[in-house]
C-alpha cells in the first residue's frame, strides 16, 4: 500500500518561519509598549504585514496536511485537521492530472485527483513523500482516466 504523507522537513522549516514571525511580532509589540522607537505608522504597517504573512503560512500548512493511501483497488484520503476520512474505489475516480512547472532549475509537480462526489485533492512532489509511487500506481491502474493538459 502506498502511503503518501507530508514531508516532515517542509513542516519543520515552515514552523521555524512561523516562530520567527511570532517573535518579530512580539518584539514590535514590546518595543511599542516600552517607548516607541519608531513612528506609529511604522508599527501599524509592520504588524499588519507580519500578521498577514503569518496567517497565510498557517493556512498553507493546515491545508497541505493530508494523507493519501492507495492500494487494494481503493484510494483513502485523510484530512486530520478537518477530521475527515474518505474511502474511494478506483471506479469512483473521475480523472487525474499531473502538472509540471520548471522553476529555479527545479521541477515542481502537482497531482490532482477528482472523485465522483466532486471532491478533489492535490498533492505535490515537494511537500509529500512517495509522490512518484502514487503517480506510478495511477498510471498502472487508471490510464484511461488521465486528463490531458
Across the chain, mean pLDDT equals 92
In this structure, CATH architecture of domain 67-143 = Roll (2.30)
Using only C-alpha atoms, the chain has a radius of gyration, in whole angstroms, of 20
C-alpha of 58 from chain center: 10
Checking if the pLDDT of 149 tops 80, the result is no
pLDDT in the model for residue 77 = 95
Q: Cα(144)–Cα(142) distance, rounded to whole angstroms?
A: 6
Q: Which residues pair with 100 in a beta bridge?
A: 109
User: How much is the pLDDT for 114?
Assistant: 95
Tell me the sheet residues that pair with 45.
none
pLDDT in tens, 48-88: 999 999 999 999 899 889 999 999 999 999 999 999 999 99
State pLDDT tens for residues 92-132.
999 999 999 988 888 999 999 999 999 999 999 988 999 99
What pLDDT does 103 receive?
Answer: 84
| Domain range summary for the chain, segments of one domain joined by + | 7-63, 67-143
Amino acid at each position: 500500500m502506498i502511503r503518501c504523507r507530508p514531508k516532515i522537513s517542509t513542516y519543520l522549516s515552515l514552523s521555524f518561519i512561523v516562530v520567527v514571525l511570532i517573535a518579530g511580532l512580539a518584539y514590535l509589540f514590546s518595543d511599542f509598549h516600552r517607548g516607541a522607537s519608531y513612528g506609529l505608522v511604522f508599527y501599524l504597517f509592520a504588524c499588519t504585514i507580519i500578521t498577514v504573512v503569518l496567517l497565510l503560512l498557517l493556512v498553507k500548512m493546515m491545508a497541505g496536511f493530508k494523507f493519501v493511501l492507495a492500494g487494494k483497488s481503493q484510494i483513502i484520503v485523510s484530512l486530520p485537521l478537518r477530521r475527515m476520512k474518505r474511502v474511494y474505489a478506483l471506479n469512483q475516480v473521475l480523472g487525474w492530472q499531473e502538472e509540471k512547472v520548471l522553476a529555479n532549475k527545479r521541477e515542481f509537480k502537482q497531482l490532482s485527483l477528482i472523485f465522483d462526489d466532486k471532491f478533489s485533492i492535490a498533492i505535490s512532489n515537494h511537500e509529500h513523500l512517495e509522490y512518484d509511487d502514487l503517480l506510478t500506481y495511477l498510471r498502472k491502474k487508471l490510464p484511461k482516466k488521465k486528463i490531458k493538459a
